[in-house]
């Protein structure tokens, strides 16, 4: 009886564990252009898929951040997550999690999480 319960838990538990790991595990870093491509491939009424972008802050203007990804693409960042442990600084690299809004010259990255690089 115990053997059956253990087998049943493994059969059900492993797929559930893989699902959560895929959904909430650490994402692979993408560039801003790759994030735009991912967002363009989704329906307009859907929220864009969350991605992770490693970004070096190039300038800070009030509440607006401007960053540069690893390929040199510059873009605007709107950060609406919890207060970061230390103030953002130009020249520092951070990992932002969020999604892209808009397209063309008006596109920006809406970040909801930030991690130090």
CA nearest 66: which of 85, 52, 79, 48?
Answer: 79
Residue 48, pLDDT score? 66
Provide the residue ranges of all domains of the chain, joining segments of one domain with +.
27-116
Q: Per-residue pLDDT for the chain (117 aa), expressed as one digit of tens each?
A: 888 888 888 888 888 877 776 667 666 788 888 888 877 776 665 666 788 999 999 999 988 899 999 999 999 999 988 888 888 999 999 999 998 887 777 889 999 999 887
String of DSSP letters for 33-87? HHHHHHHHTS-TTSPPPPEEEEEEEEEEETTEEEEE-TT--EEEEEE-SSPPSS-
DSSP 89: -
Q: Which residues partner with 94 through β-bridges?
A: 55, 116
pTM beyond 0.95, yes or no: no
27-116 homologous superfamily: Nucleic acid-binding proteins (2.40.50.140)
């Amino acid at each position: 009886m115990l053997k059956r319960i253990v087998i049943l838990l493994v059969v059900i538990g492993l797929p559930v564990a893989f699902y959560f790991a895929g959904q909430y595990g650490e994402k692979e870093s993408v560039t801003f252009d790759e994030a735009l491509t991912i967002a363009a491939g989704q329906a307009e009424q859907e929220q864009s898929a969350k991605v992770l972008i490693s970004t070096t802050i190039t300038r800070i203007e009030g509440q607006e951040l401007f960053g540069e990804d690893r390929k040199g693409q510059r873009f605007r960042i709107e950060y609406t997550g919890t207060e970061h442990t230390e103030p953002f600084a130009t020249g520092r690299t951070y990992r932002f999690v969020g999604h892209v809004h808009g397209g063309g010259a008006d596109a920006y990255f809406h970040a909801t999480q930030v991690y130090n690089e």
